Structure 1
Amino acid sequence: MLTRIRRPVGATDRYANLRRIRTLDPQRDYLDIYQTMVRYEFPWDSKLGLNLAFNRSFSLPRIAALHTRTGELLRHTRKRIDDTGLLMYEMLLHGFEHPKGRAAVRRTNQIHRQYDIAEDDYRYVLGCLVVVPMRWLHRYGWRRPCCHERAATYHYYRELGLRMGIRDIPGSYQDLATWFDEYDRTHLRFSPDAAAIERATRTLLRGRVPRLLSPLADALVGAMYDERLRAASGVPTPPLAIRWGLHTGLRLRAHLLRLAARPRRTPIFADGIRTRTYPDGYQISRLGPADR
């Protein structure tokens, strides 16, 4: 198992990383491929996609009700989001076999084992983490992810799921996407809990809107959601002009990145992960609720 990402090949060749990825085995080298995607190829889009994935998972009625009961997302929103991000990115940076990766998985399991969470809901969250960011990249990435990248993303999160004791994970990216779509279609419904959590957590997405467009931030966040997620979380459908403008702007950004941007030479998190909650650093074993 690789625990350290390789330096990308080629300082000016926009597709050098993709060619290297295509020489790898997605089932064996999933960590290397997924690290390259997130840290070099699509850093902004991958982080935004994961934000959207968590927002969607928070909107499932049973999960929303659980978060409302615990109160963490409503009372300590910034800390809760930072803690989740730190655990996820520690796994990504180091891999599941590294001491820090194992510590992050262990802490994640400690936090979740206190609650009675349905197996299907665990699988749904896993599906959100795989399918939602991948579809965002397919639509708005500077290039579309290749089949190796889809498969590696699936195998990365499948391994995480296995280490969390999640059973009956669908056997491929496409199988998981098919299962996810059906579960999403039949279970993602409006609940007051989901609406309250969405209002609390949308700050993170608002922060990704350029300052010049901040007066339109709420409408633009709503435009990032699809109709089913808006309905589930009580978010009004933004005007057509906002939705069209967001789509056009993101597609233009992708086009400009494809034509003019140079390959990233320094990966994100090269100097560690910085958060507002822990300006002086953090201990993995103390992330999450203090009583867990």
Structure 2
Amino acid sequence: MGSLFSSSGDDLASRLGTSPWVLYSVAGFTFYAVLCSSLRFRRLRTMRKRLNYPDRESLSRMTNEDAQKIVYYLSIYEFPVLYDFSLRYAIFKTYAIDNIGNLLYRVSDLARPTEASKRYDDTQVLFASYVNFPPGSEALAKSVARTNFLHQPYRQCGKISNGDMLYVLFESMHEPVRWMRLYEWREMADMEVAAIATLWKYIGEMMDIDYRAELGKDQWKDGIEFMDDVAAWAAEYENRHLGPSPDIAKLGQVLVELMLSAYPSFSRAPGYKILMVLMGERMRHAFGFPEPGVVESVIAYSLLLTRKLFIRYLCLPRIVPATFISEPDPVTGRIKHYHFLKDPWYAPATFWARWGPEALFRRACGLKVAGDGGEAMLPDGFLFEDIGPRNEMGKGVEETARLAKAAQSKVSASACPFALPKKG
């Protein structure tokens, strides 16, 4: 059989006027590409079948628990890199809103280069907690409660408005959908879009965001309709509030410098130009950043297109999850952080984290690895009372616990938030 196959291949190669090895290589490459392309959609098909959301009509019965499961698999298996980056972008974009950016520059550690690294990672671990921990869990309630505790003084005095909170929620659910549509190997399916909107609506309710006050309604047929309504509202909100100011420009400069300083020095200049391209015209104007040139734009979009095609046709699906934070330690309750930006906040100093391939590369580039900074970086992980400015670390334990119970009581974890009451 082998000799027959070899003989047939040699004959075909001879007729085509090429080497048999070229023919075999092309056939092997084609088979591998078809295999990758076929397996790439397997996880989506399995998830859709297992949770039974085959069409748009079925999305109205999606529960908060199912929504979290779907978003979780998106973030650790399907799109871990760009999902994470799109959330970073979403958070950064909210800083261009006049009320949010000006307030952060005046009162937040984000505006201080020496403290910005911790505050940035604090925001990241809170957002990771919203996705990682299922509705109804103590860890999710505590993560939302800590957010509410840190925002509480500013909401009570009117410095953070209900509209500001809704806009941050909108960007957090909208940007991942937009980034996957533009830059990932596939766009999100309706089930996944609905899941993101459903999960963030649940988080928003735990944060006491009043949807009716901004949107004029509090009932929708599914997550997609909810996202569409918030998107229409957000467009008007941006027209009124997304604009330049000296404080926002200074805040943007600090944060861009922080992000670039987390990468090797040789990559910072081209990284800055690519960042300017991806930021978009409105954000560049709001932060006062320069316009990129045509060459930078072509390079940035070409790299993204190449990555998209490479993953789509030449990469087998991820089988090892991209873990951003751990489960709470059963004894101490501490949660470890595996994806710090610049300083290794809450990152465990394991042998692999300090001497593995990525760590060796970071060392060679003069960047920090887990364990650098000692106990000040809390390498055993964080408790939620560690999240926030240094002067708030360890404070508000009782208040955070009270807010956690209040947040859990606001909405049922297993509820179908878009199931409309029956008439009659």
Same fold, TM-score > 0.5, yes or no: yes
Of stretches 72-81 and 210-219 in structure 1, the one that deviates more from structure 2 is 210-219
Unaligned runs of 5+ in 2: 1-35, 54-58, 221-225, 327-336, 348-378, 396-424
1:282 pairs with 382, 390, 393, which one? 382
Aligned counterpart, 1:224: 278
Q: How far apart are 1:270 and its partner, in Å? A: 7.0
Bigger relative contact order, structure 1 or 2, given CA contacts below 8 A and separation 6+? 1
Of stretches 190-199 and 153-162 in structure 1, the one that deviates more from structure 2 is 190-199
Q: How far apart are 1:181 and its partner, in Å? A: 2.1
When residues 79 and 155 of structure 1 are mapped into structure 2, their CA distance, relative to the original with a 3 A threshold, is same
Structure-2 separation of matches of 1:111 and 1:270: 23
When residues 210 and 149 of structure 1 are mapped into structure 2, their CA distance, relative to the original with a 3 A threshold, is farther
1:101-126 per-position Cα deviation (integer Å, ceiling 9, x unaligned): 11111111100111031111111111
Counterpart amino acid of 2:272?
D
Counterpart amino acid of 2:187?
R
Aligned counterpart, 1:58: 95
Aligned counterpart, 2:39: 13
Structure-1 separation of matches of 2:188 and 2:83: 11
When residues 234 and 283 of structure 1 are mapped into structure 2, their CA distance, relative to the original with a 3 A threshold, is same
2:143 pairs with 104, 107, 131, which one? 104
When residues 204 and 132 of structure 1 are mapped into structure 2, their CA distance, relative to the original with a 3 A threshold, is farther
Residue 93 of structure 1 pairs with residue 119 of structure 2: no
When residues 16 and 252 of structure 1 are mapped into structure 2, their CA distance, relative to the original with a 3 A threshold, is same
Q: How far apart are 1:209 and its partner, in Å? A: 7.0
Structure-2 separation of matches of 1:285 and 1:71: 17
Task: Give the TM-score of the pair, scaled to structure 1.
Answer: 0.90
Larger radius of gyration: 2
Counterpart amino acid of 1:31?
Q
Q: How far apart are 1:186 and its partner, in Å? A: 2.9
CA contact (8 A) 2:98 2:243 kept: yes
Structure-2 separation of matches of 1:134 and 1:208: 26
Q: How well do the aligned residues superpose, as a CA RMSD in angstroms? A: 2.1
Structure-2 separation of matches of 1:214 and 1:262: 31
Alignment of 1:21-100 (within 5 A): 21-23=47-49, 24=51, 25=53, 27-28=62-63, 29-75=66-112, 76-100=115-139
CA contact (8 A) 1:190 1:234 kept: yes
SS in structure 2 at match of 1:128: helix
CA contact (8 A) 2:284 2:290 kept: yes
Identity of aligned residues (%): 27
Residue 121 of structure 1 pairs with residue 202 of structure 2: no
CA contact (8 A) 1:103 1:285 kept: no
Residue 148 of structure 1 pairs with residue 191 of structure 2: yes
How many residue pairs get aligned? The number is 282
